Amino acid sequence: MTRLNRDQMFERILKSVAENRPFSLIRMGDGENVVLSGEIFKFYEWSYPGENRCIQGSYEYLRSGMVEAVKNCDLAGIFLGDTWTYDALAKAGAINPEFQAYAFCNLFMAGFKPFVDNIMRNKKLLLIGSSMGEYNDLLKSKIPEARTIAIYKDMVIRSKVHCDELYQKIDACLGDFEVALVSMGVWALPICDYLKKKGKIAIDYGHAASHQLIGEYEINLQYDDMDDYFKNSKCPICWK
């Protein structure tokens, strides 16, 4: 297992972008651990903070899709030393991802100016998630030239039927985007894996969009040095 720091993580992402190489970044947290460990099977209909939903008949579909996503990912966000995550992966029969970074790496992506310039400004973006309608408006207000498509906005996935419906929407616009930012809770893992298999670059963007909508972790348009960005942006003190 190779643990990447912030700069190494961005280098890996931007190299894939520059080479236009299929890529997926997934992230592991509490919701993912509940699903992978099998705890989800205790519930008739599972609901968890962060817009994580699933009905009973789709539990195995979600879990197996997450295992496949872990196996195929290029980078996984995992809290360092988090035994719950590693135990959950083992219970699901999932491998320990070779390349790992901080689980909340999504929060400072928009603060890294090369990410903003090379991806948000210069690539055709697919935005997936219930908050992405509003986020699309925010992004376009900051970067008017941004080329974005927002799908499944105001929608939450609860089942295989919903997930398959989303895949159909992705297939319908495959030629119209290069990079996807996915904010869809635990479903982001299989979605990112699906996008990679379709030849795209997929990033589990998670709750970063929601934070930016309330003015935290703002899109960095001026600071080349991230330390300067953190000193001058509205974000929790632990990041400064």
What are the pLDDT digits (tens) for 100-156?
Answer: 999 999 998 999 999 999 999 999 999 999 999 999 999 999 999 999 999 998 889
188-197 and 160-172 helices cross at what angle (nearest 10)?
A: 30
pLDDT at 67: 97
Confidence of residue 44 (pLDDT cuts 50, 70, 90): confident
Residue 223 token pair: 């600071």
CB 67 within 8 A of CB 186: no
Three-state DSSP class for 75?
A: strand
Q: How many CB atoms lie within 10 A of CB 47?
A: 12
Residue 26 token pair: 């997934």
Nearest Cα to Cα of residue 22 among 184, 180, 183, 186 = 180
Residue 77 token pair: 């966000």
H or E element in which residue 23 lies: strand 23-27
Inform me whether the pLDDT recorded for 233 exceeds 70.
yes
Confidence of residue 240 (pLDDT cuts 50, 70, 90): very low
d(CA 160, CA 102) in angstroms, rounded, equals 29
Mean local confidence (pLDDT), 38-55? 91
Distance of CA 49 to the CA centre of its chain: 16
Give percent above pLDDT 70 in the chain.
98
d(CA 141, CA 157) in angstroms, rounded, equals 28
Alpha-carbon Rg for the chain, nearest whole angstrom, is: 17
Tell me the pLDDT tens digit for each residue of 178-188.
999 999 999 99
Mean local confidence (pLDDT), 22-38? 96
What are the C-alpha distances in Å from 101 to residues 41, 52, 166, 232? 29, 22, 28, 25
CB 203 within 8 A of CB 179: yes
Three-state DSSP class for 91?
A: helix
Confidence of residue 81 (pLDDT cuts 50, 70, 90): confident
What are the phi and psi torsion angles at 39 (to 5°)?
A: -65, -25
Confidence of residue 227 (pLDDT cuts 50, 70, 90): confident
